[in-house]
Amino acid sequence: MGRAPCCDKANVKRGPWSPEEDAKLKSYIEQHGTGGNWIALPQKIGLKRCGKSCRLRWLNYLRPNIKHGGFSEEEDNIICSLYISIGSRWSIIAAQLPGRTDNDIKNYWNTRLKKKLLGRQRKEHQLARKSGLVKQDIIKRSGGVGGNSNSHSGILAADGQNSYWPELPVLAVPTVLPQQQQQPCFNDHASIRKLLIKLGGRFSSNHDTNQATQDSSTDIQPTYQVLDDNNNIPYAATAVTPTHQMDEHYSGKNMQSLLVPRHGIHALNSPSAPVALSNIDVISPHQFAQTHYMVNTDNIDGAGNGIMHNMFQGQGGNYVTDQLKEMAVYNNNNTNNQQRFDGMEFLYGDEMMIMNNRIVSSYGESIGWGEMLGCPPVASSSDDYNAGMDRLMPAAPVQECGFANDQLMSSYPGAPL
> What residues line the site for DNA (CB under 7 A)?
1, 3-4, 6, 9, 13-17, 34, 36-39, 49-53, 55-57, 60-61, 68-69, 88-92, 102-104, 106-108, 110-112, 115, 189, 316, 319
Gap between the Cα atoms of 54 and 13, Å rounded = 11
Of the pair 16, 160, the CB lying nearest DNA is at 16
State the nearest-atom distance from the C-beta of 41 to DNA, in Å: 8
CB 276 within 8 A of CB 235: yes
Write b or e for each residue in 304-334: b if 16 or more Cβ atoms lie within 10 A of its Cβ, otherwise e: bebbbbbbbeebebbebbebbbebbbbbbee
State the nearest-atom distance from the C-beta of 89 to DNA, in Å: 3
Of the pair 228, 319, the CB lying nearest DNA is at 319
Q: How far is CA 378 from the centre of its chain?
A: 24
State the nearest-atom distance from the C-beta of 179 to DNA, in Å: 22
All residues at 6 or more sequence positions from 72 whose CB lies less than 8 Å from its CB, including other chains: 247
Gap between the Cα atoms of 38 and 52, Å rounded = 7
Closest CA to 298 of 321, 275, 319: 321
What 3-state DSSP class applies to 353? strand
State the nearest-atom distance from the C-beta of 15 to DNA, in Å: 5
Of the pair 36, 46, the CB lying nearest DNA is at 36
State the nearest-atom distance from the C-beta of 267 to DNA, in Å: 22
Of the pair 106, 358, the CB lying nearest DNA is at 106
Strand partners, 366: 360
Of the pair 12, 128, the CB lying nearest DNA is at 12
State the nearest-atom distance from the C-beta of 40 to DNA, in Å: 7
Of the pair 66, 145, the CB lying nearest DNA is at 66
Strand partners, 300: none
Gap between the Cα atoms of 219 and 144, Å rounded = 13
Of the pair 21, 167, the CB lying nearest DNA is at 21
State the nearest-atom distance from the C-beta of 343 to DNA, in Å: 11
Gap between the Cα atoms of 331 and 413, Å rounded = 6
367 backbone dihedrals φ, ψ, rounded to 5°: -135, 155
